Amino acid sequence: MHTLYDSETYSVTHMLANAEPDGKTALGTVKTVQYPAGVPTMARHGFEIVDKRSGKEVYLDGSWAELFQQHIMAWQVNTPTQEEVEDTLEQYAELAQNPVLVH
């Protein structure tokens, strides 16, 4: 899990799948027979966007995560202003339904 963005308004975290590229799971068991390439073919990553104003979060995976990844790659090419980033995050935050819970 990697925090990609954190402001007074939003937080964006890249959530990684459980498999490691060396073929080990989170518990350290080698899965070379089950995953010869070292990672499952269906490993999915996602992004958690927290709207700190509303106290809600949205988790993006699948095609939503791919679309958000395209925004991130575009930002790496053309560095956006904070306002541009926040405007994009606001669009995604409209999907937020889950309240943020601290355990």
Q: What is the pTM of this model?
A: 0.71
Domains contained in the chain, number: 1
- pLDDT for 19 equals 47
Q: What is the mean pLDDT of residues 89-102?
A: 84
How far apart are alpha carbons 95 and 103 in whole angstroms? Answer: 23
- pLDDT for 47 equals 93
Q: Which of 48, 56, 52, 55 is nearest to 96 (CA)?
A: 56
pLDDT tens sequence across 15-30: 887 645 554 444 444 4
- pLDDT for 21 equals 53
> Percent of the chain scored above 90 by pLDDT?
50
Parent domain of 84: 2-99
pLDDT beyond 80 at 65: yes
- Cα 55 to chain centroid, rounded: 18
pLDDT beyond 80 at 67: yes
Q: Are 69 and 12 in contact (CB under 8 A)?
A: no
Q: Are 13 and 96 in contact (CB under 8 A)?
A: no
Angle at 16 between CA 12 and CA 22, to 5 degrees: 150
